Amino acid sequence: MIHYKNKEEIELIRESALIVSRTLGILAEIIQPGISPKTLDKKAEEYIRDQGALPGFLGLYDFPATLCISINEQVVHGIPGDKPLIDGDIISVDCGALKNNYYGDHAFTFAVGEISDKIKKLLRITKESLYLGIEQMVVGKRIGDIGYAVQHHAEKNRFGVVRQLVGHGLGKKMHEAPEVPNFGKRGSGRKIKEGLVLAIEPMVNLGTKNVIQLADGWTIVTADRKPSAHFEHNVAVVDGQPEILSTFQYIEEALMKKQASFI
Ligand code: MG
Ligand code: MG
């Protein structure tokens, strides 16, 4: 059953989503060659707890960390390890926070040092496909319209769209109905209604759309081991239109500051 949220609930989800946004902004400042995913995880946990919130993923389905950190061919659900990042890596950082009984949950894929033009394009197209999906979250449209928009943009650019993992409703539970596939047919699926809150999260691969799970029981990797990108926002339908509750603004400011310091 889909739980549609009132304005008060949407504000609480926004509060948790913005804790995640600021967490990702802090990580953006320190993601560079030499730093380990585990260090990033500790920073994130510290910041989230300082906000009077709880890490949303830690312990959820027994996941062992605050962040899902997925490097290069890892798509999602990577467990932060000790191995330092190296120049040319990409890392997808997915983060959840729980405050006032409501979850925030979003993700961004970062470049570590200098990455190839091919991979830059993968990141750009994945992020664009997220915003194209969000534009479809309008009263009267359907869930399939979101998936169609994401899929169309990614496949037009010859990238693979992951099928086995999907976006979701968000609220008092991290994963609520409905499922939000990143592929689909226009005009198919549930109708989009006022108060719907979704985590929309395209996972787009440089090569094949196929993925497999590693023996750790968590990490999802591309079947051809080519890189994969993941961007996620939390979005509510307010006055019939999509309102993005999370923001990449903190990340973008941090990245700009970092770039300026290199010149
Ligand atoms: Mg997420
Ligand atoms: Mg999610």
> Any idea what the CATH number is for the domain that residue 73 is in?
3.90.230.10
Contact between 260 and 35 under an 8 Å Cβ cutoff? The reply is no
Q: How far is the CA of 262 from the centre of ligand 1 (A)?
A: 31
Q: What distance, in Å, lies between the first and last C-alpha atoms of the chain? A: 53
* Domain residue limits at 15: 7-261
Q: How far is the CA of 201 from the centre of ligand 1 (A)?
A: 7
pLDDT for res 261: 78
Tens of pLDDT, residue by residue over 117-175, are: 999 999 999 999 999 999 999 999 999 999 999 999 999 999 999 999 999 999 999 99
Q: How far is the CA of 232 from the centre of ligand 1 (A)?
A: 6
Q: How far is the CA of 32 from the centre of ligand 1 (A)?
A: 22
The answer to the question of residue 1 being in a domain is no
Sort 24 into a burial class: Cβ within 10 Å, 0-12 / 13-18 / 19+: buried
Q: How far is the CA of 263 from the centre of ligand 2 (A)?
A: 36
Q: From the CA of 92, which ligand is nearest?
A: 1
Tens of pLDDT, residue by residue over 34-76, are: 999 999 999 999 999 999 999 999 999 999 999 999 999 999 9
Count of the separate structural domains present in the chain: 1
pTM exceeds 0.95, yes or no: yes
The answer to the question of residue 133 being in a domain is yes
Q: How far is the CA of 263 from the centre of ligand 1 (A)?
A: 33
Distance CA 109, CA 78 (A): 13
The answer to the question of residue 2 being in a domain is no
Tens of pLDDT, residue by residue over 199-253, are: 999 999 999 999 999 999 999 999 999 999 999 999 999 999 999 999 999 999 9
Helix, strand or coil, per DSSP, at residue 164: coil
pLDDT for res 263: 62
The answer to the question of residue 167 being in a domain is yes
Q: From the CA of 96, which ligand is nearest?
A: 1
